[in-house]
């Protein structure tokens, strides 16, 4: 009855589609956990919802993490191309925000604005953000908050060169140095999961994102 009431209100507002957990902000989990809440998933499927995407949560132990030699080699090659990976600095602010607004999802921009403000208050630290640069240009970044890893992204035109692999490894290394024993990511997909798996991440939960034409 609740579901039918919500759908009716959407229709009255002229909405053509209803989505369950499309993307942040405003989600607790990315969709319905397919194993833990199968009965809820079955309820939506019975009401003609369909799965349009699956998201994964992944976890890894990093207490003994070291950067593999193969990753070190990729980083050495990237340096010969002028690509560096380092911690965020205060004078990166303007270029960093320009990179985020141009290349990353809007919610990631919101999260980073919040964290950069918190640096001034002492609630967040520059070492929690890793940047990828080529000359003066910022082309990728990753951050962590506690043992939560991410967001994590590289500009489209620079993907496929191993940058993400090195960025992920150096961030995990930094997390271990800060004393964290584990790292987890709430929302990723099967493509990115292959990169995470290189460093010991395994699937913890799998979620279905649903939609229905009204």
- Average pLDDT over all residues of the chain: 93
Return the pLDDT at 121: 86
Return the pLDDT at 26: 63
Return the pLDDT at 123: 87
pTM above 0.85, yes or no: yes
User: What are the pLDDT digits (tens) for 167-188?
Assistant: 999 999 999 999 999 999 998 9
Q: Is the pLDDT of residue 203 over 80?
A: yes
Question: What is the SS3 string spanning the chain?
Answer: CHHHHHHHHHHHCCCCEEEECCCCCCCCCCCEECCCCHHHHHHHHHCCCEEEEEEEEEEEECCCCCCCHHHHHHHHHHHHCCEEEEECCHHHHHHHHHHHHHHCCHHHHHHHHHHHHHHHHCCCCHHHEEEEEECCEEEEEEEEECCEEEEEEECHHHCCCCHHHHHHHHHHHHHHHCCCCEEEEEEECHHHHHHHHCCCCEEEEEEEEEEEEC
Q: Which residue has the higher pLDDT, 128 or 121?
A: 128
User: What are the pLDDT digits (tens) for 7-65?
Assistant: 999 999 999 999 987 776 666 788 999 999 999 999 999 999 999 999 999 999 999 99
Q: Can you list the domains of the chain with their CATH numbers?
A: 2-56+206-213 (no CATH), 63-180 (3.40.630.30)
Return the pLDDT at 48: 96
Summarize the confidence of residues 92-106 as an average pLDDT: 93
Q: Is the pLDDT of residue 69 over 80?
A: yes
């Amino acid at each position: 009855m609740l579901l039918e009431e919500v759908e009716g209100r959407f229709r009255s507002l002229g909405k053509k589609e209803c989505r369950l957990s499309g993307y942040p902000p405003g989600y607790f989990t990315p969709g319905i956990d397919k194993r833990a809440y199968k009965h809820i998933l079955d309820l939506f499927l019975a009401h003609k919802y369909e799965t349009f995407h699956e998201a994964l949560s992944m976890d890894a132990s990093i207490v003994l993490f070291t950067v593999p030699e193969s990753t070190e080699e990729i980083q050495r090659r990237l340096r010969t191309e002028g690509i560096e990976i380092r911690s965020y600095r205060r004078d990166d602010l303007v270029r960093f925000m320009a990179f985020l607004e141009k290349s990353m999802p809007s919610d990631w921009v919101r999260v980073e604005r919040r964290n950069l403000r918190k640096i001034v208050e002492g609630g967040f630290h520059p070492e929690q953000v890793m940047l990828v640069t080529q000359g003066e240009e910022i082309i990728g970044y990753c951050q962590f908050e506690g043992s939560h890893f991410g967001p994590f992204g590289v500009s489209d035109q620079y993907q496929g060169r191993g940058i993400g692999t090195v960025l992920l490894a150096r961030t995990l290394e930094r997390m271990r140095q800060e004393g964290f024993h584990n790292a987890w990511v709430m929302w990723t997909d099967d493509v990115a999961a292959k990169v995470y798996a290189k460093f010991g991440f395994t699937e913890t939960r799998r979620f279905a994102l649903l939609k229905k034409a009204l």
